[in-house]
Amino acid sequence: MSIGHAAEIALGGMCAWRLPVDATCASVSRSLLAIALTDLRLEREAIDDITLAASELVTNALNHGLRPDPLRLSVPPELWLWARVTPSPQLVVSVFDACRDSFPDTTPRELLDEHGKGLGIVGILAAAWGAHRSRSRLGAGHPGKAVWCAFPLNAPWPNPNLTAPPVLAAQHLAATLAAQGIRNVQHRQGRGVSLVTVPTSCTEINVWVEPAHLTCTTSDGSRIRRPMADLHDIAEHLVSSCEN
């Protein structure tokens, strides 16, 4: 199962693939990414680095995030891919798994350190990486975590000046959050701006959607203003905020 097409990433879209719940998940992830990144016309060296890092994230999910639970079926891991403008043009690769009992240690490591060697490779190859609570994009919003890494983009995309009718962008954001199991998301249309309201356990997060920007308030009261091209990055930020 998958959503999105590689060509949409350059236009602010995203791709998500469900991976096998077995030892083939790493090789499958490498194949899927190689095809998508080739379609996006990335250079061979960049493709090799990104597929290697993604393979390490998937292997980590297989080893630490897919522990069998006798009370339920294993939840398949997922591979997500999108581009963002903030903090700089980057391609984001994220691997979802349903285990919240184990989070990776993000402390920088030496490459020769046998403990956490795979994630050490990710830390060397990627411009940034991390982990947070999240929800499945393909599995009816099953709770879990996302471990992600980001790579610099030299391509002329995503376009920081990307625009969209606020009402359509708000509907898309609300639908994305609802598909990930975030309940009671509301969106309202105003004159030239739309409002998406995301309920959390203790408050609400309001997202103002303009033709070229999205603005929301964080839990500490500060405001985030991001280009429309960062819609999927903002969506993941909102899911993480709700889960925390």
- For 73-100, the pLDDT digits (tens) are 578 999 999 999 999 999 999 999 998 8
Q: What is the pLDDT of residue 56?
A: 93
Question: Residue 218's pLDDT is what?
Answer: 76
Residue 32's H or E segment, with its range, is helix 25-39
What pLDDT does 119 receive?
Answer: 84
Instruction: Extract the residue ranges of the chain whose pLDDT is less than 70.
Output: 65-73, 106-117, 219
What pLDDT does residue 102 have? 80
Distances (CA, A) of 243 to 11, 51, 141: 28, 28, 11
User: What is the pLDDT at residue 22?
Assistant: 87
Q: Check residue 110 and give its pLDDT.
A: 57
Q: Distance of CA 220 to CAs 61, 77, 86, 114, Å?
A: 31, 32, 20, 38
Q: Note the pLDDT of residue 146.
A: 96
For residue 156, what pLDDT is reported?
Answer: 87
